[in-house]
Amino acid sequence: MVGSMDELQARVQQKLYRMQDLRDGLAAVRGRETSEDGVVTVEVDGNGALKDLAFSSGISRLTPDELERIVVQTAAAAARVAFEQRAELVNEYTAELAL
Domains of the chain: total: 1
Global confidence as pTM:
0.85
pLDDT of 1 > 70? The answer is no
Give mean pLDDT, residues 4-26: 93
Distance of CA 99 to the CA centre of its chain: 25
- Whether 2 has a pLDDT exceeding 80, the answer reads no
For residue 17, the domain's CATH number is: 3.30.1310.10
For Cα atoms 12, 85, 41, give the angle at the middle one, nearest 5 degrees.
145
Q: How far is CA 87 from the centre of its chain?
A: 8
Q: What is the signed CA dihedral for 85, 55, 72, 77, rounded to 10 degrees?
A: -20
Task: List residues bridging with 6 in a β-sheet.
Answer: none
- Higher-pLDDT residue of 3 and 92 is 92
Range of the domain at 12: 5-98
Give the model's pLDDT for residue 96. Answer: 87
